[in-house]
Amino acid sequence: MNDLEELQFGMNEGANELHKSEAIRLACGAPENHRKLLQSFDYLFNDFDSKHVLNTYILCFSEHAPEDNDGLLSMWRGYGNSGSGAALVIDTSKINENSESPLIVGKVHYASKVERKKWISEKLISLAEVISAHAKVEDDFFNAAWAWMHRLKSFALFTKHHGFHEEREWRVVYMSDKDREQSFKKYFSHLATNRGIEPKLKEGLHNSQPVVLGADVKR
């Protein structure tokens, strides 16, 4: 990722709000259940932060209307070598879905910080309702922490500040924690850029893997 701010905002905000949530505390019932949930979440959060966050790779696309033969001037300036580059149009009907793939395809949703914070608050209330109704044994509170962690990752990776809305971005995201078989390890590489030596994930198009479709941050 070129800019970790998007990921850090969603993850840190979601973690802080979980710890502060009165609805979650009440839903857990006993203090030990609440403690189990928070400790489980902190473990998962720290594991992702220390092992996986820097091995998160994103490939970005811009949604293209079939009748549009020109594209956006701002996109050509920013990503098309000031108009000297080329645009590749991807036929998404050729993408195969595979629920086990570490690649996730999803549309980016644009929102202000206030709107993103509101989303987090609303989802925590929904999580509290599920915990209250279904959490009975210790493992249930770990599972609730895992679900919140998983949801936050999708939210953080597929939302962006509304100032970028004209990009109409879609993303293919590689998540190393989903790559249990390490099938993408052979594609890890580096590239010399004007920012120095940067880690990259280089996969040839002829080797393209099936993906998980539709990271829906609104659900």
pLDDT at 138 over 60: yes
Q: Check: CB of residue 15 under 8 Å from CB of residue 151.
A: no
For residue 140, what pLDDT is reported? 97
d(CA 136, CA 141): 8
For residue 207, what pLDDT is reported? 55
pLDDT at 75 over 80: yes
For residue 22, what pLDDT is reported? 97
For residue 7, what pLDDT is reported? 78
pLDDT at 141 over 90: yes
d(CA 80, CA 62): 12
Mean of all residue pLDDT scores within the chain: 87
Q: pLDDT tens digits for 1-10?
A: 656 677 788 8
pLDDT band of residue 211 (cuts 50, 70, 90) is low
The residue-averaged pLDDT of 38-53 equals: 92
For residue 181, what pLDDT is reported? 87
Q: pLDDT tens digits for 82-132?
A: 778 888 888 888 878 887 888 888 899 999 989 999 999 999 999 999 999
Find how far residue 184's CA is from the centre of its chain.
18
Q: Give the Cβ contact number of residue 201 at 10 Å.
A: 16
Sequence-distant (≥ 6) Cβ neighbours of residue 211 within 8 angstroms: 95, 96, 97, 98, 101, 103, 104, 105, 172
What value, to the nearest 5°, has the Cα angle with vertex 176 and ends 175 and 178?
A: 75
The residue-averaged pLDDT of 39-57 equals: 91
d(CA 168, CA 126): 29
Return phi, psi of residue 126, to 5°: -65, -40
pLDDT at 35 over 90: yes
Q: Check: CB of residue 123 under 8 Å from CB of residue 151.
A: yes
Q: Where are the domains of the chain?
A: 5-64+71-80+91-213
